[in-house]
Structure 1
Amino acid sequence: MKKSILSLAIFAIALISSADVVAQKFPKLDVSPMDAASFPTNWRDANKLVKVVYSRPQLKGRDLEKLAPKDKVWRLGANESAEITFYKDVIFGGKKVKAGTYSMYAIPTDGDWTIILSNQINYWGSYFYKQDQDVVRVSGKVSKPDNEIEAFSIVFEGEGTTAEMHLGWANTVVTVPVTAQETNN
């Protein structure tokens, strides 16, 4: 009898709990889902140098220049501004940057793109971007991919404490080197 009452009580609690979960309102899936890229790229390696969190818009037949207009600050993706975290002091595109989290923007041009790290974090898009909050501006070397890239993507390649960050979309890949700074003990 005691087992039956205990079983009935557990069943009732489980039923009430599941009813609460079903009653929650969840938003529709974002058409530009959030993603992350890090270096080292192996998920088992917890000793990361850098990680970028960004959203992945799709071309869907649209022109890159309409989505990321030339000579204007662009948020590098969709939705919130891309955020880059350096877990160690680095040389980013040839300039020293302290460990920390920054927003990352780009200014697309006909030549190499300008990549910007800003102290402003947790902002939607680039609408509130302020140049006086820049930490650094570096040049990102532009190249062409073998095949068109439908979804904006960020990947890292490298070895040891030296990597290249590749930003790819449409017929454009922008590359910025990232290297851990030497520590003098």
Structure 2
Amino acid sequence: MKQIVLLVSLIMGITVAKAQTQPTPPNLDSSPLDMSYYPVDYPVLKIQDKVSEPLVARVVYSRPQKRGRKLFGDLISYGQIWRLGANEATEIEFFRDVKIDNKIAKKGRYTLYALVNEDKWTVILNKETDTWGAFRYDSSKDVLRSTVAVEKRSDIAEAFSISFQKSGKGADLLFSWDDVLVRLPITW
């Protein structure tokens, strides 16, 4: 009986030790999922009871990496629709009615796309949600479009980023990757 217990203990010990030395799977997502809020850091402020203004918007997106590639005009073709990230199409949810380019976007959830050009982007809110990439993009479901200027940055953003920055009577939705920064003004 002691030999059986010893043998089972030995096998279990080897199994546990081997399981702890397995390498990390090589197929981890290279474009991790992220979220941005306005007000910035809203969930943290909420649990700390420091919320000074109501939740206005949340963006859910994946963050592709530059990894030495030429991005705009190559990986992301000029004049073609882009999902503003990787994997699933980027989504924005407004928790109140807002204005973009003097057009009203009603409270609700939308997919964000862009027509990217060297000097300007046309940012698009589309009512088709829960979709992958831009493969089934349907312009007849566009809610609004806004054309905004491209700003060149002196530093390089390795990972695609979307964030909010307070401005005037609302916030700018910032898109940043490589040496490009684009601001979409949102008011309420």
Q: Same fold (TM over 0.5)?
A: yes
CA distance 1:68–1:94, change in 2 (3 Å):
farther
The answer as to 2:51 corresponding to 1:52 is no
> In the alignment, which residue of structure 2 is the partner of 1:146?
154
Structure 2: distance between partners of 1:128 and 1:172: 26
C-alpha deviation, 1:145, in angstroms: 2.0
The answer on whether the counterparts of 2:99 and 2:187 sit within 8 Å (CA) in structure 1 is yes
**How do 1:20-99 residues align onto structure 2 when only pairs under 5 Å count?**
28-43=27-42, 44=45, 45=51, 47-65=54-72, 66-99=74-107
How many residues align? The count is 156
Deviation track 1:110-158 (CA, whole Å, cap 9, x = no partner) reads 2210000001101100000011010001112210123111100011111
C-alpha deviation, 1:176, in angstroms: 0.5
Give the AA of the match of 1:150. Answer: E
RMSD over aligned Cα atoms: 1.9
> In the alignment, which residue of structure 2 is the partner of 1:176?
184
> In the alignment, which residue of structure 2 is the partner of 1:104?
112
Give the AA of the match of 1:53. Answer: V
C-alpha deviation, 1:47, in angstroms: 2.1
The answer on whether the counterparts of 1:94 and 1:138 sit within 8 Å (CA) in structure 2 is no
**How do 1:119-134 residues align onto structure 2 when only pairs under 5 Å count?**
119-134=127-142
Most deviating of 127-136 and 36-45:
36-45
* 1:114 aligned to which of 122, 143, 164: 122
Structure 1 unmatched runs, 5+:
1-21, 181-185
The answer on whether the counterparts of 1:162 and 1:178 sit within 8 Å (CA) in structure 2 is yes
Structure 2 unmatched runs, 5+:
1-18, 20-24, 46-50
Q: Which runs of 4+ in 1 moved over 6 A?
A: none
Give the AA of the match of 1:72. Answer: Q
